[in-house]
Chain A
Amino acid sequence: MLNEKPTLKSTAKAFLYLLPMLLITVTFNIYPIIKSFMMSFYTKYDFFTDKVSRIGWDNFKFIFSDPDFHIAVKNTLIFVVGVVPLTVIISLVIALLLNKIKWLSGLFRTVYFLPFVTSTVAIAQVWHWIYNSDYGLLNYFLSLFGVNPISWLESPKYAMLSLIIMSIWKNLGFNIVLFLVGLNSINERYYQAAKIDGANSWHQFTNVTLPLLSPITFLVTINGVIGSFKAFDQIFALFNGNPGPSKSALTIVYYLYQKFYTEWKYGIAAASGVVLFFMILVVTVIQLSYSKKHVHY
């Protein structure tokens, strides 16, 4: 029944259905989150015996005064702002073009999907070669326009840009496919009505395509923001296990990784994870409240 009111019995039944999923979620998602929250307060802690001797705010005090962490936060924000809007816009534009040439879109869909199913390490290897300052494809291409060779990966000035370009490229495939699905689900009759109502191509785009695509755009954006906040593997692979020249590509997760695996400062690593968690939470809540007004389901 569509308008059924929840009763004790129906709630219990729903709970039973959810039980297997809940067990898995609690064990592998909820428990680790709680554990890492707790760990961020352990100031004296033996990881191997799991013995906590002292707790307090020291870990947070440390990271907030650590210049490296400041760099990491700044870099992470630059990365998110650099990657997400461009990813959304470029993948939407490509999806729109593909949607116009129906017979090609099948082939291109596969082509654009490849980055999504290829490992980040392999992609980074390819880009490593593209970015090479002496015989890289990108510098060769730029030289055709008279641009001098750029040290994409070695110069702190360009490292973040290189990282952003590669990440956008890597994100495109999946987002294009999502947008294509969204475009296909818009019924042709709305365009017919819009034409009758006097809307030219641009007005059709802004008044029909964009609003009816907004759930997908929202999904792509949220997904992109969260994924970009957590950027790590592409940095590790692109700069061969370094956070870029002079930490120019040091992100929060990279910072966390360094603290955890190379310095064994578990409490500090956990504290930076908690900070990241709240940053993502705040941004997502802002996006959700924005979506209430502007996303049409």
Chain B
Amino acid sequence: MEVTFKDVSLSYDGTREILHHLNFTIPEGTLVSILGPSGCGKSTTLMMISGLLAPTSGKIFFGDKDVTKQDALARKVGMVFQNYALYPHLTVLENIMFPLKMAKVKKPERKKRALELAKLVHVEDQINKKPGALSGGQQQRVAIARALAKEPSLLLLDEPLSNLDARLRIEMREEIRRIQQETGVTTIFVTHDQDEALHISDHIMVLNNGDMQQFSSAETLYDNPSNLFVAKFIGEPVINTLAIADFQGELDQHVPADILKQAVSVGIRPEALQDHDSGDDTIAAIETTVKEFEKYGREKNAQLDFHGKKLLTTEIENTLEKEQKLTLYLQKSGFYLFDQDGKRIFGGDQDVK
């Protein structure tokens, strides 16, 4: 089911606005991640989609149907809560069966489907326990099974993997992706783990302080961040950020003068600083001093000093000595300029051939 927000704002207490004028459309059958730092309003957005929370202003559409006034019961979405909210008095199996019971599915059928789901999320050996006797990760998986039980046309997942260990996390992530692609259920997946978002989703919505920063594919997010926040938030290791004043004429011949005049911040991805000239893609060269040099297996990282500012690069070919002078070549892909409001004004697709 396609989900559309039209100018949706929300305030819990009527004074402090948590979400500001959200506008977006989540296409039918896709998996969209909502990504953002803690407290930015991800769970609140999900609650509004589910119908547990009504927007203070604006409209919500499922397909072309206005559901703003409908409550959670009428919207019939599936949801995994951040705090799981498993029924403490029911066993694992009863928890998974509960939505089916409410949908008046016959008991044997209910049980059969619940058992299948329990297997799917690997809790089949826990089905007779109460949630209180499960580990956090097991509870999380039961919550996923419960949400899938009623085969919703819209599935909302609020950090459903946050309590799992690294391997299980990847496994469950693949599992969710597989189920999503098999059933074609429109899925909205909240996370603050960018790696998770980049791997699982068709599109990513980046949220900060209740404002939507960017809504695009993972690749676009990385290659064409629309602002400084997104550029800093996406990417590991984090993008190098400098003030334009830290440069002493190195950019003058390579960036149009009118853009350079508006620019306030400079973002350079660590892989866009190379110790060798790559020809066409190289935009400028800068002189730096090596401060740290580390080699892990194939990876070579260096910390450099550039006019008193720290830079990090991951694209070193030669072995370096501390305090050695080094010329670095700035690559066009991975070099951005941002204006006073943080908006990107140079770099990305528009300036890469």
Contact = CB atoms under 8 A, between A and B. Distances in A.
B81 A189 contact: yes
A212 B88 contact: yes
Contacts of B166: none
B85 A198 contact: no
A40 to B, nearest CB: 43
Contacts of B89: 211-212, 214, 296
Bin the interface of chain A by size: 10 to 19
B87 interface: yes
B79 interface: yes
A196 B49 CA distance: 11
Interface in A94-115: none
B102 to A, nearest CB: 4
Interface string B127-171: 000000000000000000011001000000000000000000000
A297 to B, nearest CB: 9
A192 B52 contact: yes
A196 B83 contact: no
Contact of B150 (A193, A197, A207, A296): A197
Nearest to A195: B72
Interface string A208-239: 10011010000000000000000000000000
Contacts of A290: none
A198 B77 contact: no
B87 A198 contact: no
Contact of A189 (B85, B99, B103): B85
A293 to B, nearest CB: 12
B83 A189 contact: yes
Contacts of A199: 73, 98, 102
Contact of A197 (B71, B83, B88, B146): B146
B76 A198 contact: yes
B52 A203 contact: no
B90 to A, nearest CB: 8
Nearest to B156: A196
A155 to B, nearest CB: 47
The majority secondary structure among interface residues of chain B is loop
B102 A193 contact: no
A31 interface: no
Contacts of A192: 52, 72, 81, 85
B54 to A, nearest CB: 13
A198 B147 CA distance: 11
Bin the interface of chain B by size: 20 to 34
Given A212-B88, A212-B89, A296-B88, A197 B102 contact: yes
A190 interface: yes
Contacts of B79: 193, 196
Interface in B191-229: none
A200 interface: yes
Contacts of B86: 193
A73 B98 CA distance: 45
Contacts of B150: 197-198
A203 B81 contact: no
A196 B98 contact: no
B36 interface: no
B85 A207 contact: no
Contact of A195 (B71, B88, B147): B71
B88 A196 contact: no
B78 interface: yes
B78 A196 contact: yes
B52 A195 contact: yes
Given A192-B81, A198-B103, 6 more contacts: A194-B98, A196-B52, A196-B99, A196-B147, A211-B87, A296-B88
Interface of A: 187, 189-190, 192-200, 203, 207-208, 211-212, 214, 296
9 contacts: A189-B83, A195-B51, A195-B71, A195-B73, A196-B77, A197-B150, A198-B102, A198-B150, A199-B102
Query: Which 6 A-B pairs rank lowest in CB-CB distance, beginning with the nearest?
Result: A296-B89, A198-B102, A193-B85, A197-B99, A195-B72, A189-B85
